[in-house]
Amino acid sequence: MGYGDLEYDSNDSEYVTYTPFETENLLLRNRIVKSATAEAMATDEGFITEKLIEFYRRLAEGGAGTIITGFMFISEKGRAMRNMTGISSDEHLKGLKELVKEVKKTGKDKWGRIKFIAQLVHAGRQNYPFPDPVAPSAVLEATTNVMPRELTKEEIHQIIDDFAEAAIRAGKAGFDAVQLHAAHGYLLSQFISPYTNRRKDEFGEERAKILLDIMERIRERSRIPVLIKMNACDFIPGGLEIDEAVRIAKLLSKAGYEAIEVSGGMWESRLYTKYNVVCQNVEKSGEAYFRDYAKKIKENVDIPVILVGGIRSLEVAEKLLDSYCDLVSMARPLIRDPYLPSKWKEVKVSDCKSCNKCLKNISKGPLACYQD
């Protein structure tokens, strides 16, 4: 059976999950996305290592049609953690090119090439333990008890440039697209949140302005597709709520964003919820814990919606696709087993127990599964 310029095995059409999917500018060979996970495998300066290449080589072999890298810093000041990958300077290009080349070579199959997407971030007020946290407004980050410094307009314009430069660099490295990280309380998430953005200027009057400006700046120089991962809800009093997230998602859809990955929560959310909102315990939350948020956004935008958070079984993925989301995204299950997509039809459900030891150990060393 043919689909655009992609071919796929008719045996696979039994499952929607394994059919190709087309966004405005990307042909994806299936509906499975590897969601971004920080790797902590780069050198101190953010350069690619063989260990990091090996991590992605296995994912590329494993069958996910789309792989999104862990967050990469777009400027030195935007670092979120140690041994994070950098895309802030042309010096990073050589290693990034090697990484992309390896993934594309490994992931290439008879249905078409794998899609490899670079996630871009500025940490803002969630840059602990680094110095000089910055934010749209000076609002205390209560989990670290750190008061960030309010960004000047000049600094905001510089950050817009830095995101655009990083996106163009990603294109030069061979990535198929970039994804802006506007979820989980990092800087772009801080801008769209009424809790962390209390500015009185144009960046506060329209809290999504920075996202529109970044897109405009990228488009002045490049056609690289730009996806976004955004919160549908911050899970803090006074934070972003679903109706406002829908309004912003509509703006992004009109502005030419390629797809929206829907997530929720920031560091401070746990002070109110008493659990990790981003990485919930699936036994308690149930599968696909952001599904109703994704559905609401999908009903209101013209671009594809990617759902992340607690997807574990093929059966649930099948039910979600097309009505709640267009693509399903997984993080912890693919840290546990990067080959899950190629086995899912047989094993049916991931054996990831949401122990979150992968997350707890990330500040101590490279990303791995530590489940007992």
Ligand X SMILES: Cc1cc2nc3c(=O)[nH]c(=O)nc-3n(C[C@H](O)[C@H](O)[C@H](O)COP(=O)(O)O)c2cc1C
Establish if 120 lies at the interface with ligand X (CB under 6 A). no
Subset of residues 67 to 86 that bind ligand X, contact rule: CB under 6 A: 70-71
Establish if 183 lies at the interface with ligand X (CB under 6 A). yes
Total residues at interface with ligand X (CB under 6 A): 25
Annotate each residue in 189-228 with x if it binds ligand X (CB under 6 A) or - if it does not, as one string: ----------------------------------------
- For residues 244 and 195, the answer to whether their CB atoms sit within 8 Å is no
Shortest reach from residue 255's CB to ligand X, in Å? 20
Establish if 123 lies at the interface with ligand X (CB under 6 A). no
Among 17, 19, 30, 37, binds ligand X (CB under 6 A): 37
Angle of the 209-219 helix axis to the 153-173 helix axis, nearest 10: 50
> What one-character-per-residue DSSP string does 104-162 give?
HHHH-BTTBPPEEEEEEE--TT--TTSS--EESS---BTTTTB-PEEPPHHHHHHHHHH
Shortest reach from residue 273's CB to ligand X, in Å? 15
128 is catalytic: no
Shortest reach from residue 35's CB to ligand X, in Å? 4
Closest CA to 20 of 331, 350, 327: 327
Subset of residues 265 to 304 that bind ligand X, contact rule: CB under 6 A: 278-279
Residue 16 has which token pair? 């929607």
Establish if 31 lies at the interface with ligand X (CB under 6 A). no
Shortest reach from residue 34's CB to ligand X, in Å? 9
HEC-encoded secondary structure of 270-305: HHHHCCCCCCCCHHHHCCCCCHHHHHHHHCCCCCCE
Closest CA to 179 of 98, 67, 332, 82: 67
CA distance 160 to 370: 38
Q: Between 111 and 337, whose beta carbon lies closer to ligand X?
A: 337
Annotate each residue in 309-338 with x if it binds ligand X (CB under 6 A) or - if it does not, as one string: xxx------------------xxxx-----
SS3 213: helix
CA distance 298 to 303: 8
Tell me the β-bridge partners of 321. Answer: 325
Closest CA to 207 of 189, 232, 228, 219: 189
Subset of residues 135 to 164 that bind ligand X, contact rule: CB under 6 A: none
> What one-character-per-residue DSSP string does 333-356 give?
HHHH-TTHHHHHHHH-B-------
Contact range with ligand X by CB under 6 A, out of 9-17, 96-104, 294-302, 359-367? 359-367
How many alpha carbons lie under 13 Å from residue 238 in its C-beta half-sphere? Answer: 8
Shortest reach from residue 49's CB to ligand X, in Å? 17
Q: Between 111 and 175, whose beta carbon lies closer to ligand X?
A: 175
- One of 8, 18, 186, 324 is an active-site residue; which one? 186
Shortest reach from residue 353's CB to ligand X, in Å? 11
- The contact set with ligand X (CB under 6 A) reads 35-38, 70-71, 119, 181, 183, 229, 263, 278-279, 308-311, 330-333, 358-359, 362, 367
Q: Provide the annotated active-site residues.
A: 186
